[in-house]
A and B are shown apart, each in its own frame.
Chain A
């Protein structure tokens, strides 16, 4: 404690030196920006060695699959089966082949997809549409072939014939957004009246990754500007406003420099940290706030600074500690980018505090005294609209404590009830606004076709002599497909069974009776061989492994919700139990990855959140040196998060990555105001003119109202500052930023209001219990 005070004294004595030193350190950290690497792929939040990625890599290897797939929809209200639309599909398909990063040989589209038919005594295994049908007879033939074949319906053609799909696998490392952009240029050139849609995980993922950095680049400065303006309006002093921004910038440079210097790339999560640090930096406003009051009282700048730091030093230190530990808890989580993010913000917060005790006093010493005295003249706790509002709020809490606390408890209960409805779910497509190209494409395609979200279900029949060819095994797989297709979230499944049945039917003159699995293993073997004689190698490789011990069922899901994959896994479990099959059936693919990602990353964040709750309480107790006061101080935090999560649960908003990141912030921030309020109140109470031995109602009310209006003004200013800066985000084009904006605005407003309303009420209600001890402790 002594050293902190000496830091302030040193800074007041050598303001220029402190500022130069801060500049040098900042420059040193800034050099690390040369190492800037970004990683916009949320996939990399899980390391390459994680089980799910290793497993998915294996699946891709075994079945010759691609990590990523884009789906293009071609929609024509009049139906796509006309020569002009078909010509366009062919043109697009041909042009796709030329794009780098696309696995051209495995594009599935009318001109490329393998078709097995029996026509006029001929067995035909060939691409579906080699020439554009021109006569009505040819068109009719194509229509029959398409709708007769379960391998096509819901996959490359919608049931109503209005939407055709092209599946575009991407080579490893290709950027989904860049390829999607190229595809959009191609379809724009090919032109209407058809509508074109580009959907799929890589499109959403890479578009989001790219947009995220762009938005951070635009909104961080805007938020900064608004905060700057707000500070200026509050304190009417440009150097002060600048110094607050400078402190924020310095801490951003330090912490980002540290992370980059340690060799970590900036992931999507840590790309949010500048905004967070800017938010946390506003805590310095308590220093300015108090300084203006003090300066007005004593007119001695040096004394005012030292007094201010003594008065607010303790709460500022502990709020910083609370915030920093809320994030530091993330350091102990499993996911590396989560650790990096937690460490980055925690370090930045500590840097901010260090600057609060050095850089800010130094600036205050250098600011033109004339101006300060003019600006601070306006500063009076009692007057002004803010002062009146604070007074009213505080009085309500202080004079009707029972009603206030009862109301608070009701809100708490309602919030808790709402919070139980929260779904932990990350759906990246829903991060795009309704009406955005990505979202519309996904919606349209999912309505018309089997689904844009792809999962694999691997049936492993163990070793043995090509066990998958066994008709009994195939029937088990077929049964599983029907079971999965019974789920509302599953639009389509495809497996080797569909191929076997198709060949059987084609060999028997297209008799639908033979659309079944044959009875002998040899027949299955010969059918598949026959198919492989003419089909593309990938047709079989994608659904069966080289020694016929494993089969891959393609499961198309109509939503990217994690719950959809959970449903699939549940259904698999049920089916296995019911069939008592010896098949080992395991999920995989992008949809499965997203589920694991969801559970691991968000689960990690939830665990972190729970631990933070405890840590923050411990810090409160430490700060107040009292469990009782810690409980009181904890209440505004509980109210705030109960209300926010209650609303999140009630409106059905998913607990997704942005919300999870914000949760950590909310703990650290929402408790700040209570620390300031209680800290300052207790100091005021101890320093009150010693009259009666017992805490009288009048004395207590006076102290509470003083706290509400003077440090309370700092609290409200802090909240307003925050809220106005983050309000900008409500206009961001991606929903996670809207979420961030709404979350922070409501969190700051709520925690400020609950602090000023409930804390006085609680203190009044519990005065006997609290204050005696407090005074005993004081002795």
Chain B
């Protein structure tokens, strides 16, 4: 009888344990999957994006742009192409980024008013993206090993079960730590809080709308509306993705100086 119980217990444990291990990936694994889900889904991606920059008094400034993105065949390398539609006087400005993890990006800008393409030194990935509350890293992803990640707990946030991950930058930054709620099912960040050294809440990111976009047989859960709010200045930026398409067949050569000056019509319409 005792043997039987022992047997059943062992058997039962054996059944449970691996499953538990599977459900609890390490913090690094969670963040890595999250980066893939948030910034690297599909082979390429195109979206028409509206950014509303709203100051404390409620004044709005808009930026309308088309963003193209293509992943390298392997690894974390990526290419970005951005075409600005609005405000009116910047229509036609294009911006291109070749992104290499662990190394500074290459960036170019085309300024139609002087008909010049210039390389831009990208020394600070933490600087604001086109005057918004998002940084360049918020737009294109932060290197996985730039932070020390730890899994604080799992909890429900709204309608989703989330991992709560703390990420502490290895180099001193304008924030001391980030707490992220990452959905367990789709691995997209639902909310992020940035704290100062004194524990003050500085910035809050939130994903307000997530939809499943499908391409061929795959569906890609995608954040279509997101907000970054700076609690110190009261300034916030709301970003809405209009048309968003995966796997439109972009080629590496499409991300070149030639297309910066005269982008392919179908990309930017």
Contact = CB atoms under 8 A, between A and B. Distances in A.
B119 A123 contact: yes
Interface in A415-440: none
B208 to A, nearest CB: 22
Interface string B64-99: 000000000000000000001001011001010000
B124 A126 contact: yes
A533 B129 contact: yes
B235 interface: yes
A100 B119 CA distance: 39
Indicate the size class of the contact surface on chain B.
35 or more
Interface in B87-122: 87, 89-90, 93, 95, 109, 111-114, 116, 118-121
A61 interface: yes
A338 B234 CA distance: 37
A536 B135 CA distance: 10
Contacts, number: 103
Interface stretch (A515-523, A654-662, A688-696, A771-779): A515-523
Interface hub of A104, A124, A534 (most chain B Cβ within 10 A): A534
Interface hub of A105, A123, A127, A508 (most chain B Cβ within 10 A): A123
A419 to B, nearest CB: 49
Given A526-B90, A546-B59, A127 B114 contact: no
Interface hub of B57, B128, B129 (most chain A Cβ within 10 A): B128
A540 B131 contact: yes
Interface in A454-476: 466, 469
B89 A469 contact: yes
Nearest to A121: B119
A629 to B, nearest CB: 65
Nearest to A171: B232
B124 A525 contact: no
A407 B198 CA distance: 71
B95 A533 contact: yes
A123 B109 contact: yes
B56 A507 contact: no
Given A124-B120, A534-B127, A105 B89 contact: no
A232 to B, nearest CB: 57
Given A98-B198, A469-B89, A547 B121 contact: no
B59 A547 contact: yes
A545 to B, nearest CB: 8
Nearest to A526: B113
A537 B130 CA distance: 9
A731 interface: no
Given A64-B233, A130-B123, A533 B131 contact: yes
Interface string B173-208: 010000000000000000000000110000000000
Contacts of A98: 197-198
A104 B174 CA distance: 9
Nearest to A519: B113
A127 B124 contact: yes
Given A104-B174, A119-B121, A124-B123, 9 more contacts: A123-B109, A123-B121, A518-B113, A518-B114, A522-B89, A526-B112, A527-B111, A534-B124, A535-B128
Interface hub of B56, B113, B129, B197 (most chain A Cβ within 10 A): B113
B55 interface: yes
Interface in A500-546: 507-508, 518, 520-523, 525-527, 529-530, 532-537, 540-541, 546
Given A64-B233, A123-B119, A546-B61, A529 B90 contact: yes
A125 interface: yes
B72 to A, nearest CB: 23
Given A529-B90, A537-B235, A100 B114 contact: no
A123 B120 contact: yes
Leading 8 A-B pairs by shortest Cβ distance: A525-B89, A523-B113, A124-B121, A532-B131, A546-B59, A122-B121, A123-B118, A126-B123
Contacts of A540: 131
Nearest to B133: A537
A126 B113 contact: no
A105 B232 contact: yes
Nearest to A127: B124
Nearest to B95: A533
A507 B121 contact: no
A536 B128 contact: yes
16 contacts: A121-B119, A123-B119, A123-B120, A123-B121, A124-B123, A125-B120, A507-B118, A523-B114, A525-B87, A525-B90, A526-B112, A529-B87, A530-B93, A533-B130, A534-B120, A546-B59
Nearest to A114: B127
Nearest to A521: B89
B200 to A, nearest CB: 9
Contacts of A530: 93, 109, 111
A186 B79 CA distance: 45
A422 to B, nearest CB: 44
Interface string A101-133: 001110000000000000101111111001000
Contacts of B60: 546
A98 B93 CA distance: 38
Nearest to A545: B59
Contacts of A527: 111, 113
A103 B56 CA distance: 16
Nearest to A546: B59
A518 B114 CA distance: 10
Nearest to A525: B89
B57 A61 contact: yes
A544 to B, nearest CB: 11
A384 to B, nearest CB: 70
Interface in B205-233: 232-233
Nearest to B55: A546
A537 B131 contact: yes
Contacts of B116: 507
A95 to B, nearest CB: 11
Contacts of A466: 89
Contact of A526 (B93, B123, B128, B235): B93
Contacts of B89: 466, 469, 521-522, 525-526, 529
A100 B198 contact: yes
B55 A535 contact: no
A42 B130 CA distance: 41
A206 B172 CA distance: 32
A469 B90 CA distance: 12
A105 B174 contact: yes
Contact of B130 (A61, A124, A529, A546): A529
Interface string B44-67: 000000000001110111000000
Contacts of A522: 89, 112-113
